[in-house]
Amino acid sequence: MTATVPDAVRTPYRRSGATRFALWAQRLGWRHVVMWVVAAFAVFPVLFVVSAALNPVGTLSSSQLWPTGASLANAQDLFQNTPFTTWYANSLFFALTNAVVTVLLSALAAYAFSRMRFKGRRVGLIGLLIIQMFPQFLAIVAIYLMFSNIGELYPAIGFDTRWGLLLVYLGGALSINTWLMKGFFDTVPKELDESAQIDGATHAQVFFRIMLPLVTPVLAIVALLVFISTINEFLMASVFLRDTDAKTLGLGLYQLVASQRNANFGMFAVGAIMLSLPTLTVFWFLQRYISDGLTAGAVKG
Amino acid sequence: MVASSSPDSAGAPSQGAPARPPLPGGRFAANGSIVGQLVKIALLSLFTAFGVWAVLPLYVAGNWWGIGLVVAVVGLVYYVYLSKRTVPAKYLVPGVVFLLAFQIIPVLYTMSTSVTNLSDGHRGDKDRAIAAIEAFSVTRDPDSPEYVLTVATTGDPDTGELVFLLTDSEGNAYAGTDEGLSELGGADVDQAGKVTDAFGYTLLSPAEVNARSDELQEFAVPTRDGAGIRSSGLSSAFEGSAIRVYDEACDCVTDTETGEVYTADNDRGAFYNEDGQRLAQGWQVNVGLDNFARFLLNPTFASSFFGILLWNITFAVAVTGLVFVVGLAVAMTLHVPRMRGKTFYRILVILPYAMSSLAMYLLWRDMFNTDFGLFNRMLGLQVDWLGDVWTARAAVILTNVWLGYPYMFLVATGALQAIPRELGQAAQIDGAGPWQAFRHVTLPLLMVAMTPILIATFAFNFNNFNAVWLITRGGPFSPDNPTAGGTDLLITYTYRLAFSEATAQYGYAAALSVMIFLIVSVISIVSLSRSKALKEVDR
């Protein structure tokens, strides 16, 4: 658009050039101005965190909006002085496993709700909506008390273990996700799986070979949403994981800037970028599904 | 394909199930493929192995109800997956088991906890409270038995429950918990009598013991009636007799030194003296709706509760409204056929949505920092952004708008594309200005798709724990009310009640959870009944 302005100015007929510019400003020019303002608002914290990550001094008070130097000192600090790799592995473990298993569990349920008619179907669907209104973290006190007892019987799934927290997360697998998927399953023509069944396919074959490939977009979206929410989950994790080595990256970063927020800021900035990287990557690959998937979810409630 | 006897069957699939021709795959066909069968067998054996793993500790602990439950679940799974009539259940069981175990049972447990006084001083039953009171009040007599003490834990060195590993003068080793003393077999004891290794226990290093010295002070092992073991220093312990003695006849505890009598109040779960002072160790009792009544009727708590509720609703409405307006405005701005750099703008504008919100909350918090924060340094100010109630609230809202509007932008873009452009053009031909066309044509159509999203966004933000906790931790706090902060949401307030370091008030926190549930349900049911989500059930 910067190229457009000189063009308009260079035109021999000044008056018509000005008119054209005025017209352009009225139709598109202001839109660019608005977008620059919004983009600046959107980008400046990201710019700040990148610049802080590269800042050789590594303190909050020395970090500028625009990078003043480039060094990997902060990254080195983070890798050497904190259990960063363990934290990162924990975060990725929770996010990936939860996303995969949740997608599987809710797709199974959504298939049953979409394709089969059985006693309790209506109650089940409405029940899922109601349970959804009592978010799992509201029961955090009860979960804490439950796992104090479970941990004594089964140390493998008690506090500070991966499997225990994962089990809690999976408790929320059947939820609004099931509704979202059911809505999408409903749009797949019934004739497809009916004809497959007539050809002798079992219900399991129909589900795995015919339905799942057709509903990939919604699977991708649900996986993305679960992935993002797990990686950003703080409340459950903070109650569950108290050991330094058991923490997720989010908890670790919180702890890092809780006591020494000025001094550790450079390390925090590196960690923040690392925490955002998986999401950014997944986002990039799923870009084309996201808009449609979210809108589909919107209409389906 | 096996040849069919009737010539018309190939072209006429309408004959119904009975006329189904024999299937390929031999006798396995009816049950699915061989691979499917093998997977099923493998999964069922894996599940059985889990069942056995789950039963063993229950058997050791003698928990027969637990064993019955595990056996029932395993039996149910076998029934569902081996029967041919339970097809829907085959798809529902895996998710439902998790749902029941980790969501529905905790919800019910929360509800039952909300009518008890369960809190830090009220954990066990009355007998345990009496044992703790007596053990805690022991003093040393001239002939008190001495023990060499090694402090250990069964869990994490920083947080696990304390255990006293004790060796008496004859070299016998014992393990003492707050429930009593038991013999310790197979422990390594050094010359001085210190336990150096014991199976199942983590020994604490001197530094770790030091870090938990406060807890050590309050730890006592009840032995027999009226006696207990307490530590004297970090490596020795003594068994003394209790000053405070329980008498069943009057259901009271008497302090033999001061002569004070503490009578049991079985409604409140603690021992009180005549002046109304209570002993620290109480027990869990049912208090009915007292927890709810306190929030609604007690002037101090009610003002905190309703103040927080008002701000909670304001916060959710403000964030939802602002992200909607900003997101829609950006979507409208980009919604022109020929505009250069659209993709470029799009990527920049949705960037906040793709960043980790947890890290970004902490980043914004640090940008608002008074001394080192970016805002104060760039603007040359010394404003304590998060220290004043109103600037803190503005900061929290601003941060959430930054994180939330890209989502609205994506949704609004999708919704706008679904509206035919001709409608707006027709309105303009009829003489409507751009604003009128938007207000009366585009917006109503847009709202059809956007309303459920707005409801969901509102519900999400109503309980958006991270949004407040990671920025302000609920603060700033006024000196006269240190429990309810200026930016506290109900959920952060609940969390502080339940897990604050001072006293863990699980009963109150559970009552608050139930109230949040009621508030959110009312809002959601009213709005759901207006949207068409429920109609889909019957499709």
Element spanning B165, H or E: strand B162-167
Residues 61-120 of A with CB under 8 A from B: 61, 63, 65, 105-106, 108-109, 111-112, 116, 118
As for the ipTM of the complex, it is 0.86
Determine the Cα–Cα distance for residues B157 and A269; give it in Å rounded to an integer: 30
Residue A215, pLDDT above cutoff 70: yes
- Please give the Cα distance from B485 to B478 (Å, whole number): 7
d(CA B67, CA B47): 15
Q: How many CA atoms lie within 13 A of B324 on its CB side?
A: 19
pLDDT at B502: 63
pLDDT recorded at residue A151? 82
pLDDT at B26 (0 to 100): 43
Q: Nearest by CB to B359, from A35, A38, A275: name it.
A: A275
pLDDT for position B397: 95
Is A147's pLDDT higher than 50? yes
Distances (CA, A) of A159 to A146, B99, B378, B466: 11, 20, 44, 21
CB B366 within 8 A of CB B376: no
pLDDT band at A177 (very low <50, low <70, confident <90, very high): confident
Mean pLDDT within A201-208:
87
Cα A123 to Cα A50: distance, rounded to the nearest angstrom = 50
**Of the listed ranges A29-43, A95-109, A260-274, the one predicted with least confidence:** A260-274
Distance from CA of A43 to the nearest CA of B (A): 7
Low-confidence ranges of chain B (pLDDT < 50): 1-30, 539
- The whole-number pLDDT of residue B326 equals 94
Closest to B496 in 3D by CA, of B462, B463, B514, B469: B469
Measure the CA–CA gap between B491 and A138, rounded to whole angstroms. 8
Please tell me the predicted confidence (pLDDT) of residue B350.
87
Rounded Cα gap, residues B166 and B184, in angstroms: 9
Nearest-by-Cβ selection for A254 from B91, B96, B362? B362
* Bond before B476 cis per omega within 30 degrees: yes
- Give pLDDT, residue B43: 92
Q: What is the mean pLDDT of chain A?
A: 83
Contact in structure between B466 and B358 (CB atoms under 8 Å): yes
pLDDT above 70 for A96 = yes
- The pTM for the full model equals 0.80
Quick one: tokens of B146? 């001495």
What per-residue confidence (pLDDT) applies to A2? 42
Q: Do A43 and B54 touch (CB under 8 A)?
A: no
* HEC readout, B485-498: CCCCCHHHHHHHHH
Query: Which tens digit of pLDDT belongs to each residue from A44-58?
Result: 999 999 988 888 877
Contact A46 B521 (CB under 8 A): no
Q: Which ranges of chain A would DSSP assign to H, the alpha helix?
A: 4-10, 14-24, 30-54, 73-81, 84-115, 121-133, 140-153, 162-171, 176-186, 190-198, 203-205, 212-214, 216-231, 235-240, 249-259, 265-300
The amino acid that residue A59 corresponds to is: T
Average pLDDT of A152-172?
A: 88
Shortest Cα–Cα distance, A119 to chain B (Å): 10
A271 reaches B (C-beta below 8 A): yes
- The Cα-based distances of B355 to A60, A254, A278, B308, B321 in angstroms read 20, 16, 9, 29, 22
Judged by a CB distance cut-off of 8 A, whether residue A217 touches chain B is: no
| pLDDT-derived band at A14, boundaries 50, 70, 90 | low
Q: What is the pLDDT of residue B238?
A: 82
Best CA proximity match to A87, nearest among A223, A240, A243: A243
Q: Cα-atom radius of gyration of chain B, to the nearest Å?
A: 33
Average pLDDT rounded to a whole number, residues A24-37: 86
- From chain A, the residues in CB contact with B506 under 8 A are 141, 145
Which residues in chain A are contacts of B32 at CB distance < 8 A? 202, 204-205
Q: Which of A225, A84, A280 is nearest to B360 (CA)?
A: A280
Q: How far apart are CA B421 and CA A95, in angstroms?
A: 41
Q: Which residues contact B87 (CB under 8 A, 6 or more apart)?
A: A112, A116, A203
Give the pLDDT confidence score for residue A104 in this predicted structure.
Answer: 94
Given a cut of 70, whether residue A214 has pLDDT beyond it is: yes
Give the residue from B28, B58, B102 with the most A CB atoms within 10 Å of its CB, the best one to mutate: B102
